[in-house]
Amino acid sequence: MTQPLLNLSGKIEPSLVDIIEKVDNCATRFKIPYLVVGAFARDLVLHHGYGAPAQRATKDIDFALQVPTWGTFEILKKELITYGFTETKTAHRLIASNNWPIDIVPFGGIADKNTNIQWPPSGDTEMNVLGFQEAFENANNVRLSGEPRVEVLVASPVGMMLLKLISWTDRTADKRKKDAIDIAYVLTTYETIPAISSQLYDDQGLMAHYGWDKTLAGAHQLGITTKTIAESNTAKTIFKLLNNQNTKLQVETLISEMGGRNTHQYPRNEALINAFKAGVEG
């Protein structure tokens, strides 16, 4: 279910709004549903939308495109080039006229039964798009500009959590640490959302369970909501990670990487993950 409108008119750099507007125009022309994901989505919703502290600066904008075939994806990519975007050697990356990179990642009918996509022509490059459908169906509607009107779907915090957990389990060690830090950020800031804050104060039992630690109670509530929206395969992947049943990675590794270089944060991050896990499994 799409979340209520977040009005960010006047808060976002106009050149970045222009990039998103161009992608929106192209996607709308070919009736391709999409949403903004990644660190830019994090900043839009949690920082600009709900006033959470700013996180590390992002240097690109990620779009997830719901397409049935690679042909549809290529049509959109060619249309974006006519709008002034430049191709790169990376199939899913384009450069805007102001030198900002954008990543366009397809999901939906284009994925195989294991929710993987294989990039043509060789199919050697594979990407897991598990969780993208749930993120799309539970996105925030965000207004970036009133005139001209620019409104787009942006991954909600619960959608971000799904995507970041899946991404962390799927990426190499040198790339997944940013995901871990973002997971910590979402867990820590979820309670800043007014509706969540009100819900927590209404649920005296949950707050009391965590010694009136609103952040831990928020992490627990995020786990509950994550369980609610996750489809079967997504839920299984998250359950395996949280219960050390992932064949490659341990949850302790995630907790450690959530702190970046700050090893003193481990106990707090462990408490956040345990609260989230309790919500998922409750």
At 111, which CATH number? 3.30.460
Q: Which of 116, 131, 155 is the last residue of a domain?
A: 155
Tell me: pLDDT of 3 over 80: no
Q: What is the pLDDT of residue 213?
A: 97
Q: Are residues 49 and 115 in the same domain?
A: yes
Residue 259's identity, in one-letter code, is: G
Distance CA 61, CA 212 (A): 37
Q: Are residues 121 and 180 in the same domain?
A: no
Q: What is the mean pLDDT of residues 229-253?
A: 95
Q: Are residues 106 and 17 in the same domain?
A: yes
Closest CA to 226 of 131, 152, 142: 131
Q: Are residues 76 and 171 in the same domain?
A: no
Mean pLDDT of the chain: 94
Q: Are residues 81 and 123 in the same domain?
A: yes
Handedness of CA 70, 233, 104, 26 (dihedral sign): positive
**Between residues 56 and 137, the one the model is more confident about:** 137
Q: What is the pLDDT of residue 58?
A: 84
Q: Are residues 181 and 86 in the same domain?
A: no
Tell me: pLDDT of 196 over 70: yes
Give phi and psi for 62, each to the nearest 5.
-105, 130
Distance CA 44, CA 66 (A): 21
Confidence of residue 260 (pLDDT cuts 50, 70, 90): confident
Q: Which of 140, 155, 170 is the last residue of a domain?
A: 155
| Per-residue model confidence as pLDDT tens digits over 29-85 | 999 999 999 999 999 999 999 999 998 778 899 999 999 999 999 999 999 999 999
How many domains would you assign to the chain?
A: 2
Alpha carbon 114 to chain centroid distance? 20
Confidence of residue 156 (pLDDT cuts 50, 70, 90): very high
Tell me: pLDDT of 2 over 80: no
Handedness of CA 259, 262, 266, 269 (dihedral sign): negative
The percentage of the chain sitting over the pLDDT mark of 90, rounded to a whole number, equals: 87
Q: Are residues 141 and 169 in the same domain?
A: no
DSSP H/E element including 236:
helix 232-242
Strand arrangement, sheet containing 86-87: 3-7, 140-145, 150-154, 34-37, 61-66, 101-107, 93-95, 86-87
The percentage of the chain sitting over the pLDDT mark of 70, rounded to a whole number, equals: 99
Q: Are residues 133 and 224 in the same domain?
A: no
Q: What is the mean pLDDT of residues 186-196?
A: 96
Q: Are residues 30 and 138 in the same domain?
A: yes
What pTM value is reported for the model?
0.95
Query: What domain range includes position 22?
Result: 3-155
Q: Are residues 108 and 173 in the same domain?
A: no
Tell me: pLDDT of 183 over 80: yes
* 195-222: b (≥16 Cβ within 10 Å) or e: ebbeebeeeeebbeebeeebbbbbbbbb
- Beta partners for residue 3, in sequence order: 140
Within 10 angstroms of residue 244's Cβ, the number of other Cβ atoms is 11
Q: Are residues 144 and 187 in the same domain?
A: no
**Between residues 124 and 184, the one the model is more confident about:** 184
Q: Are residues 179 and 149 in the same domain?
A: no
Q: Which of 132, 155, 178 is the last residue of a domain?
A: 155
What are the angstrom distances between the C-alpha of 203 and each of 192, 206, 221?
16, 6, 10
Tell me: pLDDT of 1 over 80: no
